[in-house]
Structure 1
Amino acid sequence: MNPLLLPLVAAQAAYVHRTIGKEPRPDGPTKGFVPGPEAGDGAGALRLLVIGDSSASGRGAPTHDLAFAGSMARAIGKRTERPVEWRALGKYGATSERIRHGILTKVTGEWDLAVLLVGVNDILARRPVEAWTRDLTAIVETLEQHAAHTVLPGIPEFGAFPSLPRTLRRYLAERGKALDEAARLVCAGRTSVQWVSSADLGPAEPSFFAADGFHASPAGYERWAQAITDHLDL
């Protein structure tokens, strides 16, 4: 991007920061259970962990059950025909650094699948690719110790975000490509870790977004979770 446009990018970013994030936090528990086809008691349930930023924390949905974690649990349950126990660990505004040194320390036990939602805030914070790579590698390596399979969805395509001005969208898209490529390389060669490109998720129509035009709506979370499930190597 032309360096002369960076002051405009900074001003637009400051405006967006003041106007987004007004969606209330979801109510209800941060963990749940989706029965299998025969509505069993949980024996043999697949254990799902969703960890990351405000998407993992369910911003834009009234409950976690209608946010990403609950939507992913239902999609996984339908595909595997197994009951699913799920838990969401997310923090609004969390970068990979905050996840690594904060949220990740709360991960305990064994999980069948961990979904890591991260990257948007690293881009908004203009974190260097080197710092992103270092923190992301540490997160992935820790999740490998707790989960049989870890999936890292690619960073959403900023061009679709209705809340972002055009110049800011272009800048964030350029930064997103650089961080996405680094994330793909972090996951490459790890047999239990999978990176899923956001390009595989298809275009996002207005109904994908919550009222703030930045976070996903319940319909958006459902579509996002289903698209990731469709691409999982399970």
Structure 2
Amino acid sequence: MPEAAGPRWAEGSTLRLLIVGDSSAAGVGAAHQDEALAGRLAQALATRLGQPVGWQLIATSGHRSEQALAAFEAADVVQADVLITSLGVNDVVDQIAPAQALVALDRIHALATERAGVRLSVHCAAPPMQRFPLLPQPLRWFFGRQAARFNVALSSAVEGQASRHVLHLPEAMQRNAAELMAEDGFHPGPRGYALWAEALADRVVASLPQLSIHSPS
């Protein structure tokens, strides 16, 4: 399926997001970025903050963490407050060791801090691949186990770092993954992206004091 159409950046006044990732970050499964993760997240945060939120998207279908790092290194990056990463599925599919993938993720976080001024990173955990309708058994079970292994390593890697957090998909997406997916059975559909974005928005808003930004009372 194609990546979502539409611009990959928007200006905003209160908060600026930098989103780096793979096909899910690129919006595969949605027709337009307005219905995909970046657009939905900007909308959710703008509603909470009462002001437009700026964002930049650097994402490509099929990218593993190392490839996303290379794309990020080559990109022109604007200033941002928050880094969102959506990576891990392709590392699992290509059987990349979690430790190797996390070296790239660490570098993305460091570069976002150095080049864009990011002060908070939220790393999205790998989804429940054991529930992906596209995958036959026992591959579905195997990839589910590997995704869980990646998530354990990710949580361990950022533990104790105040500027880095891990977001697991909301319970509804864990429980009803198949119902919230696109027709390919592998990517979120618009409803799935909306739920994911709401969970991310809640996590970012909870961290606003850390960014010296205050949400409306």
> What TM-score results when the alignment is normalised by the length of structure 2?
0.85
Of 173, 192, 195 in structure 2, the residue corresponding to residue 220 of structure 1 is 192
Give the direction of change, closer, same or farther, for the CA distance of 1:129–1:206 in structure 2 (3 Å limit).
Answer: closer
Per-residue CA shift, 1:82-109, capped at 9, x if unaligned?
3111221110100001011223431523
* Structure 1 residue 161, shift from structure 2 partner: 1.2
Q: 1:39-78 counterparts in 2 under 5 A?
A: 42=12, 44-78=13-47
* Structure 1 residue 205, shift from structure 2 partner: 4.5
Partner of 2:213: none
Please, what is the CA RMSD of the aligned residues?
Answer: 1.8
Q: Which stretches of structure 1, 4 residues or longer, exceed 6 Å deviation after superposition?
A: none
2:198 partner SS:
helix
Partner of 2:7: 29
Q: Aligned partners of 2:76, 2:109: CA distance in 1, in Å?
A: 12
Per-residue CA shift, 1:30-54, capped at 9, x if unaligned?
1235xxxxxxxx5x33111211000
Give the direction of change, closer, same or farther, for the CA distance of 1:212–1:112 in structure 2 (3 Å limit).
Answer: same
Per-residue CA shift, 1:147-177, capped at 9, x if unaligned?
1211001110112211111211111111112
Q: 1:36-185 counterparts in 2 under 5 A?
A: 42=12, 44-106=13-75, 108-145=77-114, 146=116, 147-185=118-156
Give identity over the alignment, percent.
29
Q: Aligned partners of 2:39, 2:104: CA distance in 1, in Å?
A: 27
Q: State the one-letter code of the partner of 1:228.
A: L
Equivalenced residue count is: 203
> What TM-score results when the alignment is normalised by the length of structure 1?
0.80
8 Å Cα contact 1:32/1:70 also seen in 2:
no
Q: State the one-letter code of the partner of 1:138.
A: R
2:113 partner SS:
helix
Answer with 203-212 or 146-155: which moved more.
203-212
Q: Aligned partners of 1:111, 1:151: CA distance in 2, in Å?
A: 13
* Structure 1 residue 179, shift from structure 2 partner: 1.1
Structure with larger Rg: 1
Per-residue CA shift, 1:157-205, capped at 9, x if unaligned?
1122111112111111111122111111222222211111236554234
2:82 partner SS:
strand
Answer with 120-129 or 157-166: which moved more.
157-166
Q: Aligned partners of 1:109, 1:181: CA distance in 2, in Å?
A: 31
* Structure 1 residue 79, shift from structure 2 partner: 2.1
8 Å Cα contact 2:130/2:142 also seen in 1:
no
8 Å Cα contact 2:170/2:196 also seen in 1:
no
* Structure 1 residue 130, shift from structure 2 partner: 2.5
Q: State the one-letter code of the partner of 2:124.
A: P
2:100 partner SS:
helix
